[in-house]
A = this chain, B = another copy of it.
Amino acid sequence: MKRKVTLKQIARELDVSISTVSKALRNSVEISEDTGEKVQAFAKLYNYRPNNIALSLKNRKTKTIGIIIPEIVHHFFSKVIRGIELVANKRGYNVIVGLSNESFSKEVINMEMLANGSIDGFILSVSKETLKLQDYHHFIETISQGMPIVMFDRVVNEINCDKVIVDDLKGSKKVVNKLVENGCKTIAIITTKDYVSVGKLRTQGYIEALEAHNIKPKADLILKVDDNLVSDEHLEVLEQEIEFMLTNNPKIDGVFAVNELYAISAMKVAQKLKRKIPEDIQVVGFTDGVLSKHASPSLTTVSQHAQEMGEKAAQLLIDNLEVEEEEETYQTVIIETELIERESTK
């Protein structure tokens, strides 16, 4: 087992100084052609590669960006990661991921673990628990130490940093408009509790769009599901709640679900109740994942362009990292949504 070769070893072997080797490898003019070639040849022979850690220490930058997300087994988040990795790699950066698992303390611990020199900046999506507790000290502290943060999707307005979000409001309106266009008279929404910012915004978009069409939103048609229902175990409870709403409001002919799982569940319940999709009920989801595409009928849904979000977030962060003067001006990039029409709508 041959350990990695260092400058020192090359220097000793060739009977020159470390600095000479270093300069020779970087083609410094200070080095004679003779020694230059000798060193280069030797280095190539022993497959010399500079030690990243030493470089990081010296340059005080790691060329690594940290990602903190609530969950990785999730189409949206993994697609964002793919986007981040894509541009990060292209620009010579590595990506290190931490999972908060929607937990506040894991989010804090993970950030502290990475903030001590391991990375140059964060890209993150805030965990639900953090949103609920509204405790943002770890973000504030990180930023105040000079480490930039880019938030995506689930952001917190109080924090001053770059953000990449989807236009949830507009996206929701597109959905409602589409359903109204398609002749729906009674449109229900299946959404989350309000502290999840995106859920709140989508609900708001739904309400505003209805009002724009002179339809009065009815509380009966707004189903706010408890969050832990997203986890698969509570699927039955979710379906029961949906069934309750559908049977109690038989006139519902359009359903807007703020995520894929809710939409799929809605379709399942509707089919169980012998309502035909899209003839009797039209269903639209949010987030374009595998489920939407391969469900039967396939689901009309709002694409958030997750990969693009990741790419944009990485661009923002790296641009910020590589600019000389620290400008204290942050931007919020809005990624346009797109309504992908499939079989669950007319």
Contact = CB atoms under 8 A, between A and B. Distances in A.
Contacts of A115: 49
Contacts of A3: 145-146
Q: How many copies does the complex hold?
A: 2
A95 interface: yes
A144 B2 contact: yes
Interface string A278-291: 00000000000111
Contact of A72 (B62, B85, B116, B294): B85
B52 A117 contact: yes
A5 B116 CA distance: 10
How many chain A residues sit at the interface, stated as a range, is 35 or more
Interface in A85-126: 85, 89, 94-99, 110, 112-118
A78 B82 contact: no
Contacts of A73: 75, 78-79, 82
Nearest to A296: B296
A74 interface: yes
Top 4 closest pairs, chain A to chain B, by CB:
A96-B96, A51-B117, A53-B117, A52-B117
A116 B4 contact: yes
Interface string A139-169: 0010011100000000000000000000000
A1 interface: yes
Contacts of A52: 116-118
A96 B99 contact: no
Given A1-B145, A99-B85, A294-B295, A53 B50 contact: no
Interface in A244-291: 261, 264, 268, 271, 289-291
Given A1-B144, A49-B116, A295-B294, A72 B81 contact: yes
Contacts of A79: 73
A63 B245 CA distance: 51
Contacts of A144: 1-2
Interface string A37-61: 0000000000101111110110000
Contacts of A99: 82, 85, 89
Nearest to A289: B290
A268 B294 CA distance: 9
Nearest to A94: B96
Contacts of A337: none
